[in-house]
Amino acid sequence: MTEDQLLAELGRLYFLEDVSKIELARRFDLSRFKVARMLVKGRERGIIRIQIHEPTQNLPEYADPLTTTLGLPMVRVVETDGSAARVRDTVAQMAAQLLRESWEDGDVVGMGGGRTLHALGGHVMEAPALTVVQMVGVLPSSARMAPLEQLRAIVEASGGSIQTFGTPLFAGSVQRRDSWTAQLGEVRELHDRLDLAVVGIGAWGPEDSILREAYPPAVRSRLDEAGPVAEMLGHWFTADGGVVAQDITRMSITTEIPQLSAAPHVVAVAAGGDKAEAIMGVARSGLITGLVTDREAAERMLQLAGAR
């Protein structure tokens, strides 16, 4: 092999397969000092590159008062900067760390949709043998943002499974919703057996929600009249945690509130100061047990609550 190929092979064996320098020297008929020099040369040439992914750090100075303010057992707050996409990605990375520490073989894990959870799917590098189930129908504009397909290869490689369905969030009528729901079978049964649910939170307003385009004008007007500040899995919440617009939810394909209430752990993943009021509304509903968010959203929530 060429010298560059030899450098690459030495780097692969030493750094990825933990083959010692002494063993490499024996295999390639080199001195161990020559092996050491070649590993250095490989790094200098850029053939061997080492990346360290530092874990995202929690900010207890924000997380601790938020646990009290929101009445949640678990809150994680991360430092973020840059674009909205960068903020979502950093929050998603923290959520992925939390999942790695939380889930176990055999767990039934429900997964919502949206941009932040889509980013989360890209940060999950390994998983135990889980059953991961879709919790809510798809928005026309966000089919590409569903995290489940990103997780499929990882979950199935460990002996787990992914359960999805292709129906939209808003069915348009109670009859159509009931007809589609009746066909979901195993998925609906899994919603009754959730060990963990990971959900996003949407803000509702003229400028704030990608949800608006999923509903016809008459439904949007009905939602505006109901006055929600937040949406989670097609359920609508006021600032004080009340559930409203249940007639709209009745026409939607989603996990039911009793099923969410029965889940031991429901973790919301949401970012951005513009989501602060929405996050607080959902937290006050009592349906979530944990939150992963960013410093800007945390600061705004503490300000709204008068804690800062």
- For the chain (length 308 residues), average pLDDT per consecutive 10? 92 91 94 93 91 77 95 94 86 92 94 87 88 89 62 90 91 94 92 96 75 85 93 95 96 96 96 93 97 96 84
Beta strands 196-199; 265-269: pairing state: parallel
The pLDDT of residue 211:
74
The pLDDT of residue 145:
45
Asked if residues 302 and 308 have their Cβ atoms less than 8 Å apart, the reply is yes
Residue 189: partners with Cβ closer than 8 Å, 6 or more residues away: none
Q: Which residues pair with 267 in a beta bridge?
A: 198, 290
The pLDDT of residue 122:
82
Distance CA 255, CA 118 (A): 19
The pLDDT of residue 188:
92
Tell me the pTM: 0.81
Beta strands 243-244; 235-237: pairing state: antiparallel
The pLDDT of residue 52:
67
The pLDDT of residue 207:
64
- The DSSP secondary-structure symbol of 242 reads -
Phi-psi region of 306 (alpha: psi -120 to 50; beta: other; left: phi over 0): left
| Nearest by Cα to 7 from 51, 40, 50, 32 | 40
The pLDDT of residue 144:
47
